[in-house]
Amino acid sequence: MKLYRTGSGNYVKDGGRICRVPEPNWDALVAHEDLPAYLGSIVASSEPAGDFASARIEAPIGSQEVWAAGVTYYRSRDARMAEAKDAGGGNFYDRVYTADRPELFFKATAGRVAGPGRPVRIRGDAKWSVPEPELTLLINPRGEIIGCTVGNDMSSRDIEGENPLYLPQAKVYDGSCALGPCILVTGELLPRSTQIQIEIARAGGVEFSGSTTLAELKRDPATLAAYLFREMSFPAGAFLMTGTGIVPPDDFTLAHGDRIRITIDPIGTLENEVF
Ligand code: DO4
Ligand code: MG
């Protein structure tokens, strides 16, 4: 089942059937004691909604904080070690890749998150900016993973590479995160064969494309979620981005007007233009 947040309310889609969700409050849905059963009962007992096609799909977020895990793929470890070499920070990335404790960092509040079709941003003081396509977990206030969405952890590689202590500035700024188009409501892990694909279009052509699979993700999503909820409560629940396994070549940087399309098949495609 897929759960959509739109400008005219929330909708659930199951197979070809789309129904309006009577609960208008997104946070209440995230906190629901049995969301799959609640949504299933709506699909079984409601008339299909005729107005979904004209509804504006918004980021699937209410008051949740967005957090992110880092260096969870070998490709990310490699790229960070190279970019931080001159700053002497390279070996931290190798150490966190192999440590029990994952890297977790704060990424965004809802106001800094772009929904599908909304602009994402690159920093004006960055010279080297990339998107990071990431499977993103939705976790309820009780620490249970209730679904997932597509995420883009926009990042300034030169700022992070200059000094690892600049990570918050490289990662957290207005329009630095995109989520959507929906929540795939599932407590099950997606299969390891699940592909994450990205395509960056520029001036009518494809400037970069890449893909990876969840088989390359070194950490178990449930363990990442458990670390996030250690010693920290999330009364509205939280999103957790699970890290990137796709890094464009070092001579690539995003430009204004680029269109970023990230697809994780069972969820959908998240598309944003760089403002
Ligand atoms: O360590 C810095 C950030 C890593 C990250 O965002 C990722 O691996 O996806
Ligand atoms: Mg990332």
Residue nearest to atom 4 of ligand 1 (CA): 70
- Report the nearest atom of ligand 1 relative to the CA of 153: 6
The yes-or-no verdict on residue 187 having pLDDT over 90 is no
Q: Is the Cβ atom of 180 under 6 angstroms away from ligand 1?
A: no
Q: Give the pLDDT of residue 245.
A: 98
Q: Is the Cβ atom of 80 under 6 angstroms away from ligand 1?
A: yes
Q: Is the Cβ atom of 243 under 6 angstroms away from ligand 1?
A: yes
CA distance 81 to 157: 11
Asked if 241 and 66 count as a contact pair (C-beta separation under 8 A), the reply is yes
Question: What are the C-alpha distances in Å from 11 to residues 63, 227, 263?
Answer: 18, 31, 21
Q: Give the pLDDT of residue 211.
A: 98
* Cα atoms in the 13 Å half-sphere on the side-chain side of 263: 10
Q: Give the pLDDT of residue 91.
A: 87
Q: Is the Cβ atom of 76 under 6 angstroms away from ligand 1?
A: yes
**Residue whose structure tokens are 């992070």:** 160
- Report the nearest atom of ligand 1 relative to the CA of 73: 8
Residue nearest to atom 6 of ligand 1 (CA): 70
Residue nearest to atom 9 of ligand 1 (CA): 243
CA of 81 to the centre of ligand 1 (A): 11
**If you average pLDDT over residues 183-211, what whole number do you get?**
97
**If you average pLDDT over residues 201-210, what whole number do you get?**
98
Asked if 108 and 115 count as a contact pair (C-beta separation under 8 A), the reply is no
- Report the nearest atom of ligand 1 relative to the CA of 134: 9
**If you average pLDDT over residues 220-245, what whole number do you get?**
98
Asked if 32 and 41 count as a contact pair (C-beta separation under 8 A), the reply is no
Which residues keep their CB under 5 angstroms from ion ligand 2? 132, 153, 244
Give the pLDDT band of residue 84 (cuts 50, 70, 90): confident
Question: What are the C-alpha distances in Å from 174 to residues 105, 127, 254?
Answer: 16, 17, 16
Residue nearest to atom 2 of ligand 1 (CA): 70
Residue nearest to atom 7 of ligand 1 (CA): 70
- Report the nearest atom of ligand 1 relative to the CA of 167: 2
Mean pLDDT score of the chain: 97
CA distance 214 to 156: 24
Q: What is the DSSP letter of 187?
A: S
**pTM reported for the whole predicted model:** 0.98
Question: What are the C-alpha distances in Å from 71 to residues 14, 153, 165, 198?
Answer: 34, 13, 15, 18
Amino acid identity at 82: A
